Amino acid sequence: MAITVSEREGVVIFKLSGRIIAPGIEEVSETVSETLAVRASPVKLIFDFKEVTAMDSSGLGALMKVYSDIYPDGGEIAVVNVNKQVKNLIVMARLITVFKNFENEEDAVAALGQ
């Protein structure tokens, strides 16, 4: 599991790769927390799942934690390049309306950057 962080037009992009499952989810949580600690609210985040091979409920829980931390201050989360397994997990958890879903990074940056 790996995560890289970049920024485009004021939107923070987290590119995830590998398996987003326990116990490795701590790396994602720590990286996101460290990144958010130096940002002013409201934050706009994109999670890119292009290189993700699997995700379990702990990965989904970590995303929900990030959402619950940033939403009260007007923050937003978008997901891009979501594969079928991850999308099914998000749909089954009834979170499809919580995370904005885009086909690619460009569309997500354009929507969140407004």
**pLDDT for the residue numbered 27:** 85
Residue-range domain boundaries for the chain: 2-112
**pLDDT for the residue numbered 24:** 80
Residues 87 and 96: their CA atoms lie apart, in Å, by: 8
CA 51 to chain centre: 13
Residues 30 and 85: their CA atoms lie apart, in Å, by: 24
What is the value of pTM for the model shown? 0.92
Low-confidence ranges of the chain (pLDDT < 70): none
Which fold is adopted by the domain 2-112?
Transcription Regulator spoIIAA (3.30.750)
Residues in contact with 6: Cβ distance below 8 Å, sequence separation at least 6, in sequence order: 12, 13, 15
Q: What would the pLDDT profile of 82-109 be if each residue is shown by its tens digit?
A: 999 888 888 888 888 888 999 999 999 9
**pLDDT for the residue numbered 3:** 92
Residues 16 and 64: their CA atoms lie apart, in Å, by: 16
